[in-house]
Structure 1
Amino acid sequence: MNKRHLHHVYRRLEPISPWFFLALTVVFLVISIGALRQNNIRMLELREAVYTADKQNKDVEGALRELREYIYAHMNTDLSANSNGIYPPIQLKYRYERLVAAEKRRVSKANDAIYTKAQAYCERRFPTGRAANGRIPCIQQYVSENGEKEQTIPDALYKFDFVSPRWSPDLAGWSVVAAALCFILFLIRWASNWWMKSQL
């Protein structure tokens, strides 16, 4: 490349300062930090809505769906379990406790009916008198053979772990891209400016 042509190119690029691209990088970084923070704050609000719905026995599925969709669509909203946090990050504690209590009530009610049947059965088998001594073991055996047992409720169905994308097409994502592009343009413009000055 001859010096005259290089001088012409240098004069065309001179009005575009490399510091302009650096300033744009800083502006886009500030925007991305604000947007990333806003994404995280909104995720925390939605997570709190899930906890509130669980505690008040409201529409937990709707709150969970809204939280999941938000996390999957926005960066910096990660709820996945890591070494610093509780595992898993979302636990529907109250719903699980209500189901366990309902199962205990169901079993207790069913066993009350079984106990009544056991008494009637053993009274027929061991009428009053000396033979009545076998009634208590008979009732215990009948209840143990025919009684209801509590079904274990798998707690994994009430624990959730959502992972956000590394990049998302929202304000935070696009401002990160713009900041990266502006920084690359700053480096290119600064390097080309240095090279052209050394050649002239």
Structure 2
Amino acid sequence: RQRIADLQQYSSAHMNADTGPIYLQEQYNRDAKAALNASMSTTNRAGQTANAKADAVCKPRFHSWSIDYVRCVYEELGKLSSTNASLQTAKMPDTSLYHYNFSAPLWSPDFAGWTILLTGVVISAILGRIVGMIILRIMLRIQYRAAK
């Protein structure tokens, strides 16, 4: 959690430091697995047998522990009528708690920010001079035509 807070502070203090979406997939997998294991450990003997059956069906289908594995176990437990109690006790973590998206400010008072500000001032001065020169030429042409 401290690293997420550090990333958020860095991103909010620096320009062009948008992180894009960050998904803590592995943390969610660990927490979901812990919730599933906790529900399995609190069930009765029949529930443990059903969990073992569901585990035996789902493990060959998935090479690693994932959300799809959890869904498979839930589906298999749902098929077995004796495990409805264990299915209700397993509470999976909310996925929105594992999704972050930090955005950077439009301008920040660091080197990049001051450089952009200075560049804007220089470009404004150049454009102002160009517009001034165009207006001056138009005024001079009008003046020379009137003098002829």
TM-score range, shorter chain: 0.5 to 0.7
Equivalence map 1:51-200=2 (5 Å): 61-80=1-20, 89-111=21-43, 114-115=44-45, 144=84, 149-193=89-133, 195=136, 198=140
Q: Secondary structure at the match of 1:179?
A: helix
Distance 1:68 1:184, change over 3 A: same
Give unmatched runs, 5+ long, in structure 1.
Answer: 1-60, 81-88, 117-139
The Cα offsets for residues 150-187 of structure 1, whole Å up to 9 and x where unpaired, read as: 10211110010111112222111111111111111112
Task: Report how far residue 99 of structure 1 moved.
Answer: 0.6
The Cα offsets for residues 119-150 of structure 1, whole Å up to 9 and x where unpaired, read as: xxxxxxxxxxxxxxxxxxxxx86x65588621
Q: Is the 8 A contact 2:35 2:90 kept in 1?
A: yes
What is the identity, as a one-letter code, of the residue corresponding to 2:107?
W
Task: Report how far residue 104 of structure 1 moved.
Answer: 1.4
For residues 34 and 7 of structure 2, the distance between their equivalents in structure 1, rounded to whole angstroms, comes to: 27
Distance 1:154 1:179, change over 3 A: same
| Percent of pairs with identical residues | 25
Q: Is the 8 A contact 2:39 2:86 kept in 1?
A: no
Q: TM-score scaled to structure 1, two decimals?
A: 0.45
Aligned to 2:49: none
Aligned length: 106
Q: Secondary structure at the match of 1:65?
A: helix
What is the identity, as a one-letter code, of the residue corresponding to 1:90?
I
For residues 87 and 116 of structure 2, the distance between their equivalents in structure 1, rounded to whole angstroms, comes to: 63
Q: Is the 8 A contact 1:96 1:155 kept in 2?
A: yes
The Cα offsets for residues 40-87 of structure 1, whole Å up to 9 and x where unpaired, read as: xxxxxxxxxxxxxxxxxxxxx11111111111111112234xxxxxxx
Give unmatched runs, 5+ long, in structure 2.
Answer: 47-80
Q: Is the 8 A contact 1:110 1:148 kept in 2?
A: no
Q: Secondary structure at the match of 2:102?
A: coil
Q: TM-score scaled to structure 2, two decimals?
A: 0.60
For residues 144 and 155 of structure 1, the distance between their equivalents in structure 2, rounded to whole angstroms, comes to: 23
Query: What is the root-mean-square deviation in Å for CA atoms of aligned residues?
Result: 2.9
What is the identity, as a one-letter code, of the residue corresponding to 2:108?
S
Distance 1:184 1:109, change over 3 A: same
The Cα offsets for residues 80-117 of structure 1, whole Å up to 9 and x where unpaired, read as: 4xxxxxxxx20111111011111111111111xx328x
For residues 190 and 144 of structure 1, the distance between their equivalents in structure 2, rounded to whole angstroms, comes to: 78
Q: Which has the larger radius of gyration?
A: 1
